[in-house]
Amino acid sequence: MVQTAADKATREVLGPTLARLAREGLDIVCVDADLGYSTSAVKFGREFPDRFFPIGVAEQNMIGVAAGLASCGKVAFCSSFAVFTPGHCFDQLRMAVAQPRTNVKLFASHAGVVTGEDGASAEALEDLTLMLSMPTFTVLFPADAVECEQMIEVAARTEGPFYIRSMRPKTPILFDDSHRFELGKWPLMRDGKDVTLIACGELVKAALDAAETLAGQGVEARVLNASSLRPFDREALLAAARETGAIVTAEDHFIQGGLGGLVSQALAAEQPTPVEFIGMEGYGTSGTWKQLLEHFELTPEAIARAAGNAISRKSR
């Protein structure tokens, strides 16, 4: 399943994918809050200028316009950064999209500490918590650009509110064209019987590298790509808990309220299991994205250490 290919940023696929889907006949529009070059939404706008609505630095207005277009039958995408959407427009999202289940799709770029040189103020680390607090939103976080393109298409073809989290840097391509993203399914990236590593976004690659390190120590680690956070793969999670007896979650987001919270809540209710958490516990800082992953210990080495801790806590 994992392949070697040129790195590509997940944010780079929005505009080209929307343009392809529009050519295929989907009635897509895109509302952009002044960040279309960074999210690649302008590539859709150049081909379909009458369907592209750049409204300036006005995220609250963006949600209102998108909700209005969706109420007229359009498939309405919004383009912004994760720190602004949902950060600047939570009330509009709650009232105009989540409660009435409006057919609005948020594509939020520059998420996580890997936003890097833009500094702490631009590093969205709360966005998954905010989006998961609204139960009608489907919430997705792709591991690579291949999966991101497929998520955008699924969102466009599926009625209801969506949130797709993307990142600034170019990251490794993990999937080939045979991969098929499915809502509510966590792809098995590597099988194992001793511990399960559950990761999302760029930390899926870190989890795979950690599993390779653990294999050298005689530990067989299962790796799951938690790209669909709502709906999430309860069946795969509970099977991992039963069959491996130890879990590690890894995410470029605050530990509270994201992947770790979903996993621990489900396990507490149905299959109590030792869980270790890799994620952010405070705000970020400035630096290259790779420097920040090292600084905040969002690394294969940290995941491997957490796996050892989780294994040591198994019931005897």
If asked whether residues 35 and 158 sit together in one domain, one would say: yes
| From 59, 123, 149, 276, active-site residue | 59
Given 98, 130, 165, the domain boundary residue is 165
For residue 45, being part of any structural domain is answered with: yes
If asked whether residues 31 and 160 sit together in one domain, one would say: yes
For residue 251, being part of any structural domain is answered with: yes
The CA distance from 252 to 259, in Å, is 10
Give SS3 for 129: helix
pLDDT at 2 over 60: no
Decide if 252 contacts 203 (C-beta within 8 A): yes
Total H helices, total E strands in the chain: 12, 12
In this prediction, residue 316 carries a pLDDT of 59
In this prediction, residue 1 carries a pLDDT of 46
Given 134, 165, 196, the domain boundary residue is 165
In this prediction, residue 315 carries a pLDDT of 75
If asked whether residues 87 and 156 sit together in one domain, one would say: yes
Sheet holding 221-225, edge to edge: 188-190, 221-225, 195-199, 247-254, 275-280
For residue 182, being part of any structural domain is answered with: no
If asked whether residues 209 and 114 sit together in one domain, one would say: no
If asked whether residues 158 and 27 sit together in one domain, one would say: yes
Domains in the chain, number: 2
For residue 38, being part of any structural domain is answered with: yes
If asked whether residues 14 and 157 sit together in one domain, one would say: yes
Q: Which residue range is the domain that position 224 belongs to?
A: 188-306
If asked whether residues 66 and 205 sit together in one domain, one would say: no
To the query of whether residue 59 is one of the catalytic residues in this protein, the response is: yes
pLDDT at 101 over 80: yes
If asked whether residues 70 and 134 sit together in one domain, one would say: yes
What CATH number does the domain containing 257 carry?
A: 3.40.50.920
A 10 A CB-CB count for 315 gives 8
Mean pLDDT rounded to a whole number for the chain: 96
If asked whether residues 20 and 159 sit together in one domain, one would say: yes
What CATH number does the domain containing 157 carry?
A: 3.40.50.970
In this prediction, residue 240 carries a pLDDT of 98
For residue 175, being part of any structural domain is answered with: no
pLDDT at 164 over 90: yes
pLDDT at 4 over 60: no
In this prediction, residue 5 carries a pLDDT of 56
In this prediction, residue 60 carries a pLDDT of 97
- The token pair at 156 is 């466009």
Decide if 73 contacts 104 (C-beta within 8 A): no
Confidence of residue 66 (pLDDT cuts 50, 70, 90): very high
